[in-house]
Amino acid sequence: MIDLSSLTHIAFDADDTLWGHEHVFVDAKKRCLELLSPYMKPGMDLEQELYAFERKNLKIFGYGVKGFTLSMIETAVELSGGKIPGSAIQQIIDLGKEMLTHDIELLPGVREALTALKPHFKLLLITKGELFAQESKIARSGLAAEFDIIEIVSEKDPVTYQNLLDRHGIDPAGFLMLGNSLRSDVLPIVEIGGRAAHLPYEYTWHHEAVNEEEAAAGYWRPEGGLGELVQAVLKGL
């Protein structure tokens, strides 16, 4: 467990920390597999094929459903040798639209945690992805008013976090970040001298995975999840 005393600001990741989201991608990949199965060679792994296009396209499309949908279309064209019909492409587009409008279901204990922490700390929401899509999810979550600061960024790395904290006059020594991704929510914060807690979600995207050496130390993963973390933070007051 890390030292949780002298905190001034607590930040939350959004997707898969405040509400579930990666399961939407998991379901979309399954449906895409069904659609593309006639074009796949024996032994081919659709998820790996799709991720190869996603990884290549990140610098062009950025993170989020729109880039994922375009990568699904590109994968479909590539695997089919350009023979996939327009009707199948339309199904992929429709799937992307469904992903962008899925119901926002808060994860257990989220609203209670925000209510407990808000009187004592400045609360931030820091999320990564396409601006319009993230704004829509935040609005549909009903949580916007709970946060003092909301930031939507295109990347979560040490430079981005440091610039964000500098812009708001926040000392990393009094800053705690909560999130499901070690790569995006935890390790960059530890690197700049802040504190971080890892709250794993049931699914993790390939791109967010880290090896054991990278994830060695410097953060806390509360076994009791968000509820245990909130209790520990409040004890540190």
In the listed set 65, 100, 135, which residue is the last one of a domain according to the structure?
A: 100
Predicted confidence at residue 116, as pLDDT, reads: 97
Looking at the chain, the whole-number percentage of residues with pLDDT higher than 90 is 58
pLDDT by residue (tens digit) across 16-47?
999 988 888 888 888 888 888 888 778 778 77
Residues 46 and 85 placed together within one structural domain of the fold? yes
Same domain, 51 and 119: no
Residue 188 carries which DSSP code? H
Q: Over the chain, what is the mean pLDDT?
A: 89
**Residue 162 sits in the same domain as residue 211:** yes
| Confidence band of 13 (pLDDT split at 50, 70, 90) | very high
Inside any domain, residue 145: yes
Say if 155 falls within a structural domain: yes
Say how far apart CA 192 and CA 171 lie, in whole Å.
10
pLDDT of 56 higher than 90: no
Question: Among 72, 63, 76, which Cα is nearest to 28's?
Answer: 72
94 with 127, same domain: the answer is no
Higher-pLDDT residue of 232 and 48 is 232
3, part of any domain: no
Same domain? 227 vs 154: yes
Domain coverage including residue 94 = 22-100
Pairing type for strands 175-179 and 9-12 reads: parallel
d(CA 157, CA 167): 16
Higher pLDDT, 15 or 42: 15
User: Looking at per-residue confidence, does 47 or 72 come out higher?
Assistant: 72
Residues 205 and 153 reside in one and the same domain: yes
pTM for the model stands at 0.86
Query: Which of 32, 67, 100 is the endpoint of a domain?
Result: 100
Residue 1 maps to a domain: no
Q: Is pLDDT at 216 greater than 80 in this prediction?
A: no
Same domain, 36 and 51: yes
Pick 49 or 149 by higher pLDDT. 149
For residues 38 and 234, the model is more confident at 234
Please check whether residues 175 and 228 belong to one and the same domain. yes
- The Cα–Cα gap between 99 and 16 comes to 14
Least confident of 3-7, 11-15, 148-152, 167-171: 3-7
Residue 230 has pLDDT above 90, yes or no: yes
Q: What is the pLDDT of residues 96-118, one digit of tens each?
A: 998 888 889 999 999 999 999 99
* Predicted local distance difference test score (pLDDT) of residue 207: 54
Q: Is residue 230 in some structural domain? A: yes
Residues 128 and 56 in one domain: no
CATH for 46 = 1.10.150.240
**CATH code at 216?**
3.40.50.1000
Backbone torsion region of residue 195, taken as left when φ is above 0, otherwise alpha when ψ lies between -120 and 50, otherwise beta: beta
Are 113 and 48 in the same domain? no
In a domain, 55, yes or no: yes
Last residue of a domain, one of 72, 100, 128: 100
Q: Is residue 158 part of a domain?
A: yes
In a domain, 2, yes or no: no
State the total domains in the chain: 2
Q: Is the alpha carbon torsion for 58, 64, 70, 73 positive or negative?
A: positive
Q: Which amino acid is at 172?
A: P
Same domain, 172 and 136: yes
Higher-pLDDT residue of 163, 53 = 163
110 and 85 in one domain? no
Place 236 in a pLDDT band, splitting at 50, 70 and 90. confident
Over range 71-88, report the average pLDDT.
Answer: 90
